[in-house]
Every structure is written in structure tokens, then in C-alpha cells.
Chains A and B, each alone.
Chain A
Amino acid sequence: MRAFRYVLLSVLLSAPSLRSQPKIFDVPLSPRIANYWIKAELHPERKMVNGKEILTWRNTSPEPVSTLQFHLYLNAFKNNRSTFMMESHGRQRQFKARTEPEDWGYINITSIGLLSGENLLPSLKFIHPDDDNAEDQTVAEVTLPRPVNPGEIVSVAIEFISKLPRVFARSGFADGNFFMVAQWFPKIGVYQWKPRERGKWNCHQYHANSEFFADFGVYDVEITVPQEFVVAANGILIGKRRPTPTSGTITYIYHQEDVHDFVWSADPRFVTWHEIFHNDSTGRDVDITLYTYRTHATYAPLILDVAKHAIAYFQEWYGVYPYRTLTIVDPPADAMGAGGMEYPTFFTTSTFWWLPKGVHLTALVTFHEFGHNYFQGMLASNEFEEAWLDEGMNSYAELKCMERYFGKDRAYMDFMGIKIDGVTQQRSSYIPDPDVDPVVMKSWLYAPGQYTPKSYSKPALLLRTLENILSSETMDRIMKTYFEKWKFKHPTTSDFIAVANQVSGQDLSWYFNQVLYGTGWLDYEVASVSTEPLRGELGYVTKGDSMKFLDHGEKQDKFRSIVQLRRKGSVVIPVDVLFVFDNGKRIVEQWDGKSEWKEYRFVDSAPLSYALVDPEQKLVLDVNFTNNSRRIHEERQGIWRTVLELMYRLQSFLQYLTFFS
């Protein structure tokens, strides 16, 4: 074993790419805690990757560390007993796992030891820190012969075999030799140390809803594939070589810095499209490469254009995209489960070539997955514990991108007269069950069906609401400051709140406590409106010394209008209320929303026309917009238009039915 390790190291070090040690950034952008040298060989016929890896890990905590924990995430696909399979029931994103032997996947560590020679394999054991599933093998721990002291570096050599599953969720293979090789190598967890707490590994099992939390580092990866294969990866391609002229294989050599994952894809059918983004912020161009298929060609220009715009928008709103490459893979139709996934400087999109152009799904996926380069890629929050920090913030960013790219009212769809804007899209996911689960909670503990509404949609809406309350300028400053302060680190919800408080100059905990940690919902309603002419005195009236009875009040030229507002949800946010009178007079009042109801009374020369809560629709978290307003006289024209439209469609449908009579 020892001999192997020395040979492995010498081979790796003798590789031209590693010897020359290419450098992308003059100054490291991240702490570079976990660095990897990996040699991998794809065996397409067996759906396997044989790999050798040297990991160098630095203990940045102030205490010695005596164990190492690794993600072995392909074991999620090993059998139906893994936590992933039990949580997902073998289904993910409308795709279902198949059950033929080749459809399953796994990762086996065949050897692991310190470069100094000690064999760690006998101490390897599977652990399950998140649940009591002893059959889950997605996290392994090894015990070191001696602890790694603070600041010390440990180097571990690992040999592994990764059997890829048939794609139904994120990683795997598909017919026709498509390979999406993600979560494929033994990857070290994050050792976290906090004052007043003992240090511990944060190395979660692979869950149906979450998979990302890792330390930054440098990756040098050599991938050997049959020579007809085209490879896409999230590194800079620094060379290609043929191991021997007759081997029939080719080796791609990649280098990437300050990322926390390495992923690649291969397919002999890939065709590439290129675009350049001239990055004025760094002075270096970003090479955008799309790996797609001839059948998807019509969507390629859109994907590249969206990617270019995404870089521009994110740089304007959040901060610099420092990398020199952006790789996009557009999986084939039978591997859509691998689509819409994010990795640093690399993402997969989804092309639905049969969809009409007015349905902006491909653009949505492209904007969203690019956004993860910021929210998770550089701001490496813990997806397992606070998924909203990447999915939610990214959904908010996606919403802004879509609005700017397509126009606010048609951001998500503009097809056959039906327009869907971004807020409506997010609300349609959130408002059916606003009271189930808070936003901040461990991703695997959400009630069924609540992960997306609570970690994507509600956060997007609560950030848009915050933007509307504070102003766009303030929100932009919050997001920029958050990015600048926490990029290449592991920010938490508290870190974001602290930035928001500092930048806005106010304590916003009243807001975040309700919308992030609470399960309450926001719903303001105009419960009733009335307006009537004022009448003179009525009843027994004392005038001087005498009292007389007036049996009818004299009609006056003024009107009394009464409006009753109600807070139906438990979330309290101050709100503007607009009162409009028949003579065009408008009155705006602010209601703090603290009481459950409030009544407004006005005496005016004109009767009230309507009352409207939140006239600028700032509070997009409100679960019911229809009850935000109430008119004195009911509207008929708009409704009749809709009814007639419905009736005509029914008539038309009935007439189609006669085909079968």
C-alpha cells in the first residue's frame, strides 16, 4: 500500500500539468482548505469511473482533529435503503429510478491511507449523522493514527471506483453514452469550530433535497475517456494527451482554483457552442461554452445570450464573476433529471425544444443555475441546513433577471395571450400552504412538498418584499455588501441579517423573525366599505332650555365613509392604505397592522369609491391580493368579459365533442 501511494504521488507530480502548476489567480480568493489531485478514467461500457485522488486538507480550527469525514454520495443510488432513496421514494423531478442492475450506482473506496504510509482503510466506517438510518452509506469516517494539529496539513491518498447510476436525479448515465459525473469522488466534509462549542464535522448524508456544503480549494483533475468522447468540466482545460498512440483513449487535463466541487460530463455526441463575455470588472474574458446536441440547436443561441446577460446582471447587482470559464451542459431528453443543476463555474440547463418560445422555461433554468455560481458557488452557505440562502436568494435573483430580460409583466410566460410575471410565478408555489414549515430549517425535515415553496418561493417573495419596504437602492447595497463580505466563506442566516441591519441602518429582526423563522402568513383585507350622505340631528335634541324631538335627519352635502381593515394572518408589516373618493380625492394612511383590525372614518364632500391596502403592491408576501381592495359599487364589465370568454370556450369544446357522437 505504501509503495502504491508513493508511486501514485510521483505519477501525479510528474504529470506535466501538475509539475507546471498553472495559476489562475495571483492572490487566492478563498482559504483553499481542501485541495484535490484526481486521475479518473471513464469506462463507458461498465458505466464506471476508476479514480485515484490525493487530498490535502488543512486544519483551520484551533484544536487537533483526529478523524476525517467524507461524502460518498454515489452510495445514495446503491439500493433502496439509502436515505436519499427513502426520502425521494426513488422519484426526483418527475423522474423515476429504474431497477435493472446497471441502473443502480455506488462508490467503493478500495484503498485509503496517509501519504506518509499509514493505511486508514481498516478504520473506515459508515456513519449517519442526520438520521437513524444505519443502512445509509453516503458518509464515511476514518480515524487518523495521530490528530492533525491546528494549521497542519494532512495528505490522504484514495483509490475508488464509482459506478454511475442511470440518470434520474442529477448524476449518472443515459443511453447513447451521455455521462453526468457529479458527486463522484470521495469528498471531505467541512470541519466547523465555533467559540464556546467543540469543533465538529459538518458532513451531512446525501438527501433528496440537498447535497452542497464543502470547503474551497484547488482542483487538478485528469480525465481519461475513449477518444471519441467530448468532455465538459468545471475547470480550465490546460491540456490533452493520448496515454499511448494505440490506447484509443484521450486524457483531458483540468485546473481550477477557489471552487468547492469538481464535476464533469462526457458524450461523443456533444456539439459545442462558444461565446465570450468581455469582463470589464476583471479585465479578462469569460469563455462560455455550451455542450449540447444538434437536436437542441435552436435553443443554443438563447442559452448563450442568457448566460452572457446573467454574468452582466449579477456583476451589476452583486459582485465580480472572477472565473475565466463558464461551462454549460444541456443534457439529452432521456437524462432531463441531470438538467437544472449547479456546480461552480458549471451548470446544466434544460432544453425543451418542443416548447413555444413564449414559455421562458429554458431561460429561467439558465438564469437560475448560473445564479448558483454566486449563491452557493462563491457564497458557500450550507444547503442542508439553510437552503434558502442559496435557493431562495437565487430565486430572488432569477426573478430580477427574468424581469429585466423579458419585461416585468411577461417575465415567465407570454403565450397565447397569457402573461405570467415573476411574482405570480413564485406566489403560485407559496400561497397554497403558507403556514406549513418555516423557511429556516434542515432541508430533509420539511413536510412533503414544502421544500420548494419554503426554500425557493417564499424567500424570493420575502426578499422582494424587503426590497420594496427598504427601496431598491438599499436592497442592492445589502446584497452587494453581503456578497463582498462573505464570498468564499460559509455565511449563515444570521450573517445575512447582520449585514441587512448594518446596511439599512435599522434593526430588521422584527421582519426576519416573522418571515424566516415563523410559520405565520401575511394577509391584509379590506373587510368592508360603506358610504352614505350625512344627515342632520335626529332624536331628542336640546336647544337652549328646551328639548325637542326630530324625527328625520336633514340630508347634508357631505358623505360619511367607513372602511374596516382586517389582518387575517399573524405576520405584521406596516402597510399603506389608499382611499379614493368619487371626486378623485385620494388619501393615503399608514396602518401599523399591529391590531387585528382597524376602522377608518371620513367625512367628505364626495362618497368613497374604493379602499385599497398596499396600493403599490409592495408586500408581495401577501397571500391574497384579491381581498386587498374593496369597491363601493361592484365591477361588472371585467367579469362579464371573462365569463363570455369562458362561455365561448365551453361552446367551442362542446362542439368538438360532437366529433365522437
Chain B
Amino acid sequence: MIRASIREGLQRIIRSWRMLLPLYLINLLVAVIAAAPVAEIMQHYWGPSLVSISLRKGLNFAAIYELLLYNAAAIRPIVLLWLILFMAYEVLSIFLDGGIISALKSGEWRGVSQKLFGEGAAYFWRFMRLSLISLLAYSITALLFALVDSILARLMASSTLHAEILLILLIRIIVAVLFFAFTRMVMDYSKVITVVENSRTMRHSVWKGLKFSVSHFSKTYGMFLSLSFIFVITVALQSAVNYSINETTASLVAMLFVVEQLFLFTRVGERVWFYGSELSLYQAIRQLAQEEAPLMTAVSERSDI
């Protein structure tokens, strides 16, 4: 069932690939808005100087340090702008999540981009409420993780073997990932349930999401971790490619940028893939349950006789 859901999730993205374009373009646009004032400062400060030539070869720490030190007054408001942009992007993501799941659910691949925004608006306030609940959920997760982690930390502190310490550190990281991944998964199913069942009470959605995640734990969590593994591979591959291209010429700089954008487009797709697969799994399990329900009723009636 996991493989089938992942496959179906992928097919949904392929069919609705047009939806990825606005998602990617929004990401690009926000990054451009954030980078533009910095680019202006860089051009103004470095442009006339020979220091800029060294930047062709790679990051020049000394040059960056002087840029930050001698342009602090101009950079401070940019930092504020970045904070605002990051928050706005987060809200925009919440807005788009409703659209993504709704578009994937409808199965109609025409006008998918319009649906993204229209349905996003329809679910926005509900998803905002879900996000507020998710803050509480992540806080509880952090608390539970801290309890488990304190035991591991004590174990690590008492250890005298280097390899043992590394192993415990690795375990601590894995435990953190597992804890937060679970919470994220529950929140994902809460969104899916909200859209599929058109729920209006978000705490019910979260409860249903939690119940669904726990009652089908191996399927839901197994699929989430499988998709996360694909995501980690993408990021690792992205880093490897990034460091292997030594952009010493203008054409190599351009080539690397294109490659980086392709990776980002893939990551945008992976975000949708998560929702697509989760939607498929939820619908499949629900359908199975619905099919089994009359059968079970019949069996129970027969046993009554």
C-alpha cells in the first residue's frame, strides 16, 4: 500500500505539474526580493574595487567581513526585511497548502493553478488555525524529545569512548528527526482530513489526523520516512553537485545556477509529493474501511442468527 500510494502521489504530481510552476516562482520571487537590496549594496561597495575579481573564484571571507562591517547601517533594515519576508513566506505556504491538497484531491488537471489559489483562499483560515495548533504540537514534541534526550545526554557525558560518543550523538539526532517527523506527519494528515472531509473544526481534524496516524502507524510513518529518505538524498545530491562545479567562468556560474534551480524545482515537487502520497494513502485506507464495513455488518448479522 505504501508503494502504491507513493506511486500514485508521483502520478498526481506529473499530471498536475503546472501547479509546481507557481510554487517554484513564488519561492524564486521571494528570494529575488530578499537578495535584491543586498545585491545593490554589493555592487555599490564591491563594484568599483578589485576585491570583486576575487569573488569570481568563490566566497572571500575578508571581503564579506568588510562589506558587513562598513555597511552595517544599510544591512540592518535588510535583516528586518528578511524576517518579514520569511514570515510572509510561511503564511503564504500555509495558504498554498490548502490549494495543493484540494487540487490533488479534485483530480481535475485543468485550471490547476487557479485552483491552487482559489482553494487556498477557501482553506486559509482553517489552515492558519491548524498552524497555531501545530505550534502547540511541536512544543509538546520538543518537551517529549527533551525528556528522552536528557537520558541520552547523560549517557553521552558519562561515556569515555570516542566512537561511543559519536554513536550516541547520532542516535540523538535520529531521535530528534523521528519525533519531529511524526508531528509533522500528524499535521499533514490533519490537513488532508480537513480537505477530504471539509471539516470546519480544526481540533477535530488534528485528533482524527493523530488517530489515523497511530492506528495505521506502520503505513503512515513508513511512507513518511520513505519520502523523507528521498528528500535527504535530493539534498545530499544537491550539495555534492553544488561543490563539484567550480564556477570560475561566467558560463559555469550560469550553469550552476540552472542546476541549482532544477534541484529547487525538484524539492518543490517533493513537497507536493508528500501531500499527494498522504492523500492517496488516506483515501485508500478509507475506501478499504468503507468496503469492509458492509461486509463486517453482514458477518455480525449472520453471527446474530
Contact = CB atoms under 8 A, between A and B. Distances in A.
Interface of A: 269, 293-298, 353-354, 416-421, 423-424, 427-428, 431-432, 610, 612, 624-631, 634-648, 650-655, 657-661
A625 B69 contact: no
Contact of B39 (A424, A432, A628, A643): A643
A646 B50 contact: no
Contact of A657 (B93, B247, B257): B93
A643 to B, nearest CB: 4
B50 A629 contact: yes
Given A650-B31, A650-B34, 4 more contacts: A295-B160, A420-B61, A421-B62, A651-B31
Interface of chain B: mostly helix, strand, loop or mixed: helix
Interface in B18-39: 27-28, 30-32, 34-35, 38-39
Interface in B131-184: 131, 134, 138, 159-162, 165, 169, 184
A641 B50 contact: no
A654 B264 CA distance: 10
Contact of B32 (A638, A639, A647): A647
A624 B32 CA distance: 29
Contacts of B59: 417-418, 642, 645
Given A635-B47, A647-B31, A657 B86 contact: yes
B292 interface: no
Contacts of B42: 639, 642-643
B250 A432 contact: no
Given A642-B55, A654-B86, A424 B50 contact: no
A424 B65 contact: yes
A646 B69 CA distance: 18
Contacts of B260: 648, 651
A417 B66 CA distance: 19
B267 interface: yes
Given A298-B162, A655-B267, A634 B35 contact: no
A600 to B, nearest CB: 17
A120 B46 CA distance: 69
Contacts of B49: 626-631, 635
User: What are the 6 closest A-B residue pairs judged by CB atoms, nearest first?
Assistant: A638-B55, A661-B93, A635-B52, A634-B47, A629-B50, A638-B56
Interface of B: 27-28, 30-32, 34-35, 38-39, 42-43, 45-56, 58-59, 61-63, 65-67, 69-70, 86, 89-90, 93-94, 97, 131, 134, 138, 159-162, 165, 169, 184, 243, 247, 250, 253, 256-257, 260-261, 264, 267-268, 271
B264 A655 contact: yes
Given A638-B52, A654-B27, A657-B90, A625 B66 contact: yes
A635 B162 contact: no
A652 B264 contact: yes
B48 A654 contact: no
Nearest to B26: A654
Given A630-B48, A654-B27, A660-B90, A640 B253 contact: yes
B184 A659 contact: yes
Contacts of B138: 660
A428 B65 contact: yes
Nearest to A529: B48
Contacts of B45: 626
A624 B56 contact: no
A252 to B, nearest CB: 24
A297 B69 CA distance: 39
Contact of A626 (B31, B63, B267): B63
24 contacts: A295-B161, A353-B162, A353-B165, A432-B69, A612-B50, A624-B70, A628-B50, A629-B48, A629-B50, A629-B51, A635-B50, A642-B42, A642-B55, A643-B39, A646-B35, A646-B39, A651-B260, A654-B89, A655-B27, A657-B86, A657-B89, A659-B184, A660-B90, A661-B97
A635 B54 CA distance: 11
Given A353-B162, A417-B243, A625-B62, A643 B35 contact: yes
Nearest to B48: A630
Given A630-B48, A641-B253, A661-B131, A624 B31 contact: no
Nearest to A333: B157
Contacts of B52: 634-635, 638-639
B67 A626 contact: yes
Contacts of A644: 253, 256-257
Contacts of B48: 629-631, 634-635
